[in-house]
Amino acid sequence: MERGERQQNFMKISHIIGIIAIAVAIGVVISSMGNTSKYVSFGEAIKIATENKDTDVHVVGHLKKDKKGNILEMNYNPVVDANLFTFTLIDEKGTAKPVVYFDAKPQDFERSEKVVVVGNMKNEQFIAKKILMKCPSKYQDGKFREAEKAVASAITN
């Protein structure tokens, strides 16, 4: 084999490897797009669960509370089962459903303003695989401005 033929063969092989790598990358991107989860209401989560039981969805809502702000229908007893936490979530359309989370209760759960649960519906309850929380900001209601003024006056004095 001459030097020119070897270079051509090497170029052909490298092109084939490049094409295979691109095809694999495209396959990975397409398959990950199919596993993305949607933000839905409990009604939509029920519909999705009847069509495809393995599809995870995100449901955004707030905790069920009484007029004084106490959380209702929240159960967590680590002595009995440290990996079972249940609560009622009200989605953005006003539908309340029980949520079951087979893990420990997240820290500062009671302080959360909004809750996002990731999982799927089973038998009229939402089985959460993840719980994401939006806690109140320590700077809301003008408290940041008050702190800013206090620091400014301390510096100037």
Please report, for the domain that includes residue 76, its CATH number.
Answer: 2.40.50.140
pTM above 0.75, yes or no: no
Query: What residues make up the domain containing 111?
Result: 38-134
**Per-residue model confidence as pLDDT tens digits over 68-112:** 988 999 999 999 999 999 999 999 999 999 999 999 999 989 888
- Which are the contacts of 129, defined by CB distance < 8 A and separation ≥ 6? 56, 118, 119
pLDDT at 113: 85
Q: How many domains does the chain have?
A: 2
pLDDT at 19: 85
Per DSSP, the chain holds a count of helices (H) and strands (E) of: 4, 7
Do 31 and 48 fall within a single domain? no
Q: How many CB atoms lie within 10 A of CB 59?
A: 26
Give the residue carrying structure tokens 């320590």: 138
Residue of 1 and 30 predicted with greater confidence: 30
3-state helix vs strand vs coil in the chain, percent to 5: 40, 30, 30
Provide the residue type at 151 as one letter.
V
Asked if residue 51 belongs to a domain, the reply is: yes
Residue of 45 and 135 predicted with greater confidence: 45
pLDDT at 41: 92
